[in-house]
Amino acid sequence: MENVTADSARTKILTQMALLKLTCLTRFRFLPSLLTTAITLLALLPLSVDAAPRKPSDDSEVLERLPTRAGDASARELAALRAAMAAAATDPLPAARLAQRYFELAMARGDPRYVGYAEAVIARFPEPLPPQLLSIRGMLRQYRHGFQAALDDFAAALALDPQLAQAHAWRAAIFLVQADYAAAQQECTALQALGKNILYGSCIGLVEAYGGQLAAGYRALQQALASSHDPDNRLWLLTRLGEVAAWRGQSKLAEEYYREALNIGRDDGYLLAAWSDFLLDNGRPAEVLRELADWEASDTLLLRLAEAAALENSPDAARLTQTLDDRFAAARQRGDTTHRAEEARYALHLRRDPASAVRLAAENYAVQREPRDARILLEAAIAAADPAAAQPARDWLRDSGFEDQRLRDLGQRSTLGRGQAPAKAGAPR
């Protein structure tokens, strides 16, 4: 458990205020008022929902214990990293290690508070930042969907340290999200020139898979997996191989990859989301309920859990849907638009509101254009009987040559102008 005292809570607020002043333009699209700023700052602190406001009498009083997972050593690890940073004063390397670990925990657990903590670490250092901190700030900015600011940070980091492979890898990831496959391939080539062969295989495998060459992408990812012995790299590669196999219609093979990734035993929000989507697509919502029972804290996983509960007519379905509704409402108040794709899916499959779903999906697709983003846009446009809204996704299918037959069928149906209700309970979404 990580203790939050009154004194540390005040410190966090002051740190986040300084950070917000420096980075509000890249973190949020809309900050319309002081109220929104206040809500944003308060949302970064884990406050009890039911507690009445009061002033603690002792600065050392524990206000809340932040949850950790069973057997989790991250609290001790973070304490050691914080101590190393404090002892190092102005040395950026211990700070970079702490910020990097916070980011990894945010990705693994789907908890954005860790991103706030990482941003606060970086805000301790004046501009110009050294390359390690620039690269991590770029990672944090891409998490907030500030893609151009993130690309600029990675470019600045590479100008200072041309050997920083991490920056090339993240630039490739952003270009993939933006469906700029030529730019992504250039970053892959840069990784190859640095001798980062596993990273190169991972990078070029996705470029090929997204760009209409599923078989070639699959082979490249397989080759990278065969050369990798690092558990984290293997988990990522196995997850993406599961996705590619599913896109190729190889469900049994996809499940084998997903289960091998799960057996590594690491928390990973992306893996759990991809695995849950696979289960939902194959009419297995009961398994999603079991897999995600302890993951309500993650918005993306809560969405899958709520969908599965609705399909199973679970007693928890109404509560989970309302919790999700409350989370999206709070995000809108903060001006946080990072989960528009999930909100579109929620509006379509849980609220049965195609008009809202297609609007949210279109707004999301203007920012990020991965296959899952195209899918929700196509599904929402079909349900809303709005062929024009689906045109950007159809254009992407045409230009990229993406080979997933499910998406190609959705693209065809989206041209017809006939609405279709979301999947009924018990059917694959």
Contacts of 317 (CB under 8 A, 6+ apart): 306, 309, 310
User: Among 143, 162, 181, where does a domain finish?
Assistant: 162
Residue 329, domain member (yes or no): no
Residue 13, domain member (yes or no): yes
Does 21 have pLDDT greater than 80? no
Helix axes of 405-413 and 371-383: crossing angle, nearest 10 degrees: 30
Residue 112 pLDDT: 87
Residue 255, domain member (yes or no): no
Half-sphere exposure of 407 (CA within 13 A, CB side): 25
- How far is 411 from 406, CA to CA, in rounded Å? 9
Residue 50 pLDDT: 35
Residue 125, domain member (yes or no): yes
- How far is 262 from 273, CA to CA, in rounded Å? 12
Residue 422 pLDDT: 45
Residue 421, domain member (yes or no): yes
Could you say which DSSP state residue 424 is in? P
Measuring CA to CA, how many Å separate 427 from each of 310, 319, 422? Answer: 11, 21, 10
Residue 295, domain member (yes or no): no
Residue 232, domain member (yes or no): no
Q: pLDDT tens digits, residue range 248-286?
A: 999 999 999 999 999 999 999 999 999 999 999 999 999
User: Among 162, 178, 207, where does a domain finish?
Assistant: 162
Which two structure tokens, joined as six digits, stand for 231? 């558990």
Our count of domains for the chain comes to 2
| Nearest alpha-carbon partner for 41 in 50, 31, 51 | 31
The model's confidence at residue 4, banded by pLDDT at 50, 70 and 90, is: very low
CB atoms within 10 A of CB 282: 14
Does 41 have pLDDT greater than 50? no
- How far is 193 from 205, CA to CA, in rounded Å? 16
| Nearest alpha-carbon partner for 426 in 344, 322, 275, 308 | 308
Residue 134, domain member (yes or no): yes
Q: pLDDT tens digits, residue range 293-336?
A: 999 999 999 999 999 999 999 999 999 999 999 999 999 999 99
Q: pLDDT tens digits, residue range 72-119?
A: 568 899 999 999 999 998 899 999 999 999 999 998 888 889 999 999
Q: pLDDT tens digits, residue range 384-420?
A: 999 999 999 999 999 999 999 999 999 999 998 654 4
Question: Which comes out higher in pLDDT, residue 71 or 342?
Answer: 342
34-48, 66-80, 375-389: range with lowest mean pLDDT: 34-48
Does 12 have pLDDT greater than 60? no
Question: Which comes out higher in pLDDT, residue 5 or 79?
Answer: 79
Tell me the average pLDDT of the chain.
Answer: 85
pTM, full prediction = 0.80
Residue 429 pLDDT: 59
Residue 24 pLDDT: 35
- How far is 230 from 225, CA to CA, in rounded Å? 10
| Residue 153 domain boundaries | 8-45+77-162
The model's confidence at residue 152, banded by pLDDT at 50, 70 and 90, is: very high
User: Among 162, 178, 193, where does a domain finish?
Assistant: 162
Q: Are 215 and 247 in contact (CB under 8 A)?
A: no
- DSSP H or E stretch at residue 20: helix 6-27
